[in-house]
Structure 1
Amino acid sequence: MKKFIKKIQTVMEMMSSNEGTLFTYALAYSIIVGIAPFIIISVVFVGTYVYDVSQIIQLLQRYVPADLILPFVDYIQTSDLSNLWLIVSLLGVSIWVASKSIYSFLLLSSEQDGVNINHFFLRILACVYFIMIVLGIMAFGILIGYVPFINKFTTPIVITFFFVFFYRLLSFKYTRFRDVIWGSAITSIVLILLGRLFFVYINQYSNYQTIYGPLASMMILLISGWIIAWVVFFGYCINYVVRDDTLPVQGKHRLISILEKTNEKIDEREEKFIHDHIERSRDQQSLPKDEEKSEELQD
């Protein structure tokens, strides 16, 4: 019982700390910024080749106001995106912007796991992981749209396995199923409950339309982004306190080894560059002194 209470206290300390608060805000901002690129990717690519756009809209309406989604989706559908270079550039920018939230998680995970990786390589890794997460969301959407047994009772199970995939992907050293299952299960349950309660409150009891007018949807989007970020970080904190450090670590040893070796080579090059720069500056400073001495000897 004491261990359980101590773990709860650790989670609360992580959530209420300055670093945890700043990380939650940064993650919420990244989620909000990444919504538009995600919709673009979903409508242009996923909605064209995988499943119907209406299923994407139904999935997003659980957490994002429909007033913000529908006009943007209509604009994307009516735009001429037949140009190959336009599609490639749009996809590249969308992935780079939307992967910022993954990058924030990788920064935190690398610090918690004691892995020293260059931030540039973390940014590239975030883009790769974002593509993998989009593929996971596509698979989740296909299950919801085409598998008949996916309902309100089995949806939490599917979302739980998605977050198992999500948290395992973002951890460097703790990737066992038992290391991420508790946070994934709690995240999926809390996210579903808060999502439904939040929109019931917004639609039936709140007066956001009266207070904010046309900005009501934007305010709801900001609050939704913060709630999602808070719940996802809450699940990460649970995984952090539940994982067993006494067991052998089954992490991404090969990936860590490659990234750390690359980081060491970059550090060596930077140190060599700084050393050469210092030596050159010393040589340049010594030249005027040698010239002065030679002039004095000539006199």
Structure 2
Amino acid sequence: MNKIRKLIEQFTSFEGSLFCYSLSFSFLLALAPALTIFVMLFVIFYLDPQIIIEFGTKFLPADYITPYVDFILSKEVSGLVPLITTLAISMWLASRSIYSFLLVSAQHEEITYPKWSIRIKSLIVSLVLCGYVIASIYALILLGTWLPYLMPAGVCAILLIAFILFYRTISFEKKELSYGAVGGLFATISISGVGYLFFYIVNRFTSYSLVYGPLASLVVLLLSIYVISSIIYFGYLLNVVFEDKTEHPRMKAAGLFDFCTSVHEGVQGFLENKFMKK
């Protein structure tokens, strides 16, 4: 009971509410670059980009997803250098939402690593998750071809593994094997169920189109992103609150981050000494 009370207090606290809003804003800014990455990678790996539309419209308004995917497909990027540049810039922008989560994780785990080293980790985590999504799409295509009746279970399993992988990778500590399961299960059920229920209520029982007119899709987009952000953050808090911290935490890539910290302190000390001499 105390853990549940602590969970609710953290989620409804000023810092928790502020992070949900900031995470929603980060997801909103990362939406277009992330779509650009997936569309271009789908084309590179000879996958049908319509899969992105079919999956994305389950959680976000089709009025924004479909035109943007079609726009990216109409822009042919010729040459290896422009392709790499576009993907690199898009990955940098899309990873900002991961970076926001890493900063919160660093605060909970009392990490004092330089922010630029955490930013680099956000890029690595984004690459890992991007690769997982592409591999998952391949797996779903094969599953749909051979065992189509198992598709709903396959989608839920992929979402569950994705959330567990995400919650584990944003931690700077070496966690037990069970870490991330509680939050991942909650996020999977909530995203699958609440997402569908949210769109059903918005489409059937609200009058956003009458109030906002052509901006109705934008309002639904913002609400969708906020609901998804809140679910993912609540799942993260579930892992933090219900984690067994009886053992002293061991750090992941401690040597690398310690090296980054020493470099940061060395450069900072050099600049301070040079400035003080002047």
TM-score (norm 1): 0.86
Pairing of 1:188-267 with structure 2 (within 5 A):
188-249=188-249, 251-252=251-252, 255-267=253-265
Cα distance in 1 for residues equivalent to 2:46 and 2:76: 20
Query: Is the contact between residue 24 and residue 233 of structure 1 (CA under 8 Å) also seen in structure 2?
Result: yes
Question: Any gaps of 5 or more consecutive residues in structure 1?
Answer: 282-299
Cα distance in 2 for residues equivalent to 1:251 and 1:266: 19
Pairing of 1:78-157 with structure 2 (within 5 A):
78-147=74-143, 148=147, 150-157=150-157
Distance 1:154 1:81, change over 3 A: closer
Cα distance in 2 for residues equivalent to 1:130 and 1:77: 22
- For residues 253-293 of structure 1, give each alpha carbon's deviation from its aligned partner in whole angstroms, at most 9, with x where no partner exists: xx123212321332133224323432x24xxxxxxxxxxxx
Q: Give 1:83 shift.
A: 3.4
Identity across the alignment (%):
28
Amino acid at match of 1:152: P
Distance 1:175 1:140, change over 3 A: farther
Query: Is the contact between residue 179 and residue 243 of structure 2 (CA under 8 Å) also seen in structure 1?
Result: yes
Cα distance in 2 for residues equivalent to 1:247 and 1:188: 28
Query: Is the contact between residue 160 and residue 184 of structure 1 (CA under 8 Å) also seen in structure 2?
Result: yes
Match of 2:65 in 1: 69
Match of 2:56 in 1: 60
Query: Is the contact between residue 106 and residue 126 of structure 1 (CA under 8 Å) also seen in structure 2?
Result: yes
Cα distance in 1 for residues equivalent to 2:57 and 2:4: 32
Amino acid at match of 2:78: S
Q: Give 1:144 shift.
A: 2.7
Cα distance in 1 for residues equivalent to 2:137 and 2:66: 18
**What secondary structure is seen at the aligned counterpart in 1 of 2:173?**
coil
- Report which stretch shifted further, 98-107 or 168-177: 168-177
Cα distance in 2 for residues equivalent to 1:188 and 1:105: 18
Pairing of 1:280-299 with structure 2 (within 5 A):
280-281=277-278
Which of the pair has more CA radius of gyration? 1
Amino acid at match of 1:75: F
Cα distance in 1 for residues equivalent to 2:71 and 2:210: 27
Amino acid at match of 1:91: L
Cα distance in 1 for residues equivalent to 2:160 and 2:213: 36
Cα distance in 2 for residues equivalent to 1:28 and 1:113: 22
Match of 1:24 in 2: 20
- Report which stretch shifted further, 222-231 or 266-275: 266-275
Query: Is the contact between residue 140 and residue 154 of structure 2 (CA under 8 Å) also seen in structure 1?
Result: no
Distance 1:276 1:154, change over 3 A: closer
Query: Is the contact between residue 117 and residue 260 of structure 2 (CA under 8 Å) also seen in structure 1?
Result: no
Amino acid at match of 1:273: L
Q: Give 1:29 shift.
A: 1.0
Query: Is the contact between residue 55 and residue 145 of structure 1 (CA under 8 Å) also seen in structure 2?
Result: no
Query: Is the contact between residue 33 and residue 97 of structure 1 (CA under 8 Å) also seen in structure 2?
Result: yes
TM-score (norm 2): 0.92
Cα distance in 2 for residues equivalent to 1:251 and 1:52: 40
Query: Is the contact between residue 164 and residue 177 of structure 1 (CA under 8 Å) also seen in structure 2?
Result: no
Aligned residues: 274
CA RMSD of aligned residues (A): 1.7
- For residues 177-217 of structure 1, give each alpha carbon's deviation from its aligned partner in whole angstroms, at most 9, with x where no partner exists: 21211111111111111110011112222211221111111
Amino acid at match of 1:240: V
Aligned equivalent of 1:33, options 25, 29, 32: 29
